[in-house]
Amino acid sequence: MCGRFAVTLPPDAMAQLFAAQPANDLPEVPNYNVCPTVQVHVVRLGETGRSLLPMRWGFLPHWYASETAGPLLINARAETLAEKPAFRAACRARRCLILATGFYEWTKDAEGNRLPWYIRRADGAPIAFGGVWQDWGRDEDRRSTCAIVTTGASEAMSRIHHRMPLILDPEDWPLWLGEAGKGAARLMRPGDEELLSFHRVHPRVNSNRASGPELIEPFDESD
């Protein structure tokens, strides 16, 4: 799964990287502790091409009467994406890219303490998570919401967690967004073994109130 991430790339650099028209109300960056229900940076395909927009991280199916009317859907499993009522329409027609610099995952020690890890692309490039989106609400309450698609973990990632977010390379973006026709389902697989690097970070990131660049710095308990 993916329950927390970091984003540090400036919006103008995001727009250039994804060849997308940026909105004027994008979330502030850097943010080293992006948590569920906040606004995140999303690229989606519209009538005039790619747009870089803010969306609520937490997919809201159209039948939710309120934001808390059902489970918080921050992730969507690739294996059941086309079958689940919440996601199956979005899987076909509303796929997006969710931007990040890296993400967090946790293991546990013998005493059950949560040990956080920071995971990023080994080549240092920004991350594009495969996602799905849904507009929810009416009139002034209408908002766009999204979820990150997840797959089974690669062998390297499985040392930390049995799931991982779907990470798409630039050559796959057109197919995922729907610009290159059909067949996006074939992209829903774990990344290559060499795709990611990871290191332990300080337990302060266990708090969703923590902030600052030190959250992604390597941490050694023996220091």
Q: How many CB atoms lie within 10 A of CB 25?
A: 8
Residue 102, Cα to own-chain centre: how many angstroms? 9
- For residues 88 and 79, the answer to whether their CB atoms sit within 8 Å is no
CA distance 115 to 96: 31
Which residue is associated with the tokens 């197919």?
Answer: 175
Strands 196-200 and 102-108: unpaired
- Residue tagged active-site, from 2, 91, 96, 146: 2
In the residue annotation, 105 being an active-site residue is answered as: yes
- Residue tagged active-site, from 91, 96, 105, 146: 105
Tokens of 45: 């395909």
In the residue annotation, 83 being an active-site residue is answered as: no
Catalytic residues: 2, 105
